[in-house]
Structure 1
Amino acid sequence: MRPRRQPRIAALLLAGLLSACQQEPPPPVPQNGYGATERAFVELSIATDEQALKLVDDPSLIENREAELVELRKLLDAPYVNNHAGHDMPGMPTDAEIQLASTSPDARKQFVHAHLTEQLEVLRSAGTAITHPPTADVVKLMESHRTAELTLTEP
């Protein structure tokens, strides 16, 4: 399990991830407010939720991820390309973690808890960076999901 990160580190990490994952310089923010930061968040969140669906086995967590994916995909302004496949980022379960979790209930419990905790930190950081209202609403939805899920999955 990954060590707990400080919120400041999560904020810096989110900013770095959002800029590092861009293949090209970001375009100017369009009039509707959906810009490079929002798109990077949406793409990262889709990749994270898709990986999480391979890890989680609780029906409410599965339902939440599927609902989030529907809302996230609505925000896309271009076809989705997973630029994060194989990355090891906070909140995103790795393939190795998913594999180990499939054979060890204790490992699954630890990895799910790490996913929820780390994802909540990323979402809180995103909440301060996202200015596009529909994207901010999805951030709030995801944050409320993670907060509730942590109480359901306490060790």
Structure 2
Amino acid sequence: MRALVLAVVLAVAGCSAQAAQETSGTAATPPDLSATDLAFVDLVIPQNESALAALALARPGSALRPVADRVAATYQAELVRLRDVLARAGRPESDQHEGHDMPGMITAAELASLEHSPDADEQLRTLLRTQFEEARTVARAELASGRHQPVRDLGASIDRTRAEFLALLGAA
């Protein structure tokens, strides 16, 4: 099911990029930045941002606090790289996924629940596990179909780090 959702997201992004190209009469993206690359970037940014909001709620002294700090540093560095890709492509940051309840996206309702939960560690662990697994799915789609090497490199890094984070999460 996740693969189907991802395929639809990537296809819609591809259609949007093609439509923009056709209506503007100019290339919508640099020749080596594909619609898949753009869809990947446009999806990972809000995934990382929603996860950062959840990571900020890890409580001091919690077994998850060191994991949250490590993950947050990685996600912040990835956001810099992702935004750099958009800037180099002359593309504004998209908010096309804002408010969407998608796999890997931590919602405002989940954040509110986490903030007030007596079992916050377990709830955070569940949210992060889902987010890490979905990030790997999205990264693998980029690796399978993306063209722009810097974005593919980021996809490989995300796949690798999320596997590491899943192991850390299991050990915390």
Amino acid at match of 1:15: A
TM-score, length-normalised on structure 2? Answer: 0.76
Q: Match for residue 10 of structure 1?
A: 2
CA distance in 2, matches of 1:129, 1:12: 15
* SS of structure 2 residue aligned to 1:120: helix
Amino acid at match of 1:41: F
CA distance in 2, matches of 1:112, 1:146: 10
Question: Which consecutive segments of 4 or more residues in structure 1 shift more than 6 A?
Answer: none
CA distance in 2, matches of 1:30, 1:118: 26
Shift of 1:11: 2.9
What count of residue pairs does the alignment treat as equivalent? 147
Rg larger for: 2
Unaligned runs of 5+ in 2: 22-26, 59-67
Amino acid at match of 2:12: A
Unaligned runs of 5+ in 1: 1-8
CA distance in 1, matches of 2:103, 2:76: 20
Structure 1 residues 110 and 37: CA distance shift in structure 2, 3 A = same
Shift of 1:35: 2.0
CA distance in 2, matches of 1:31, 1:86: 29
CA distance in 1, matches of 2:124, 2:9: 26
CA distance in 2, matches of 1:23, 1:102: 38
* SS of structure 1 residue aligned to 2:16: coil
CA distance in 2, matches of 1:21, 1:130: 13
Q: Match for residue 3 of structure 1?
A: none
Shift of 1:14: 1.4
Identity rate of aligned residues, in percent? 30
Structure 1 residues 16 and 103: CA distance shift in structure 2, 3 A = same
Shift of 1:97: 1.3
TM-score, length-normalised on structure 1? Answer: 0.84
Shift of 1:132: 1.3
Q: Find out whether 1:59 has 2:69 as its counterpart.
A: yes
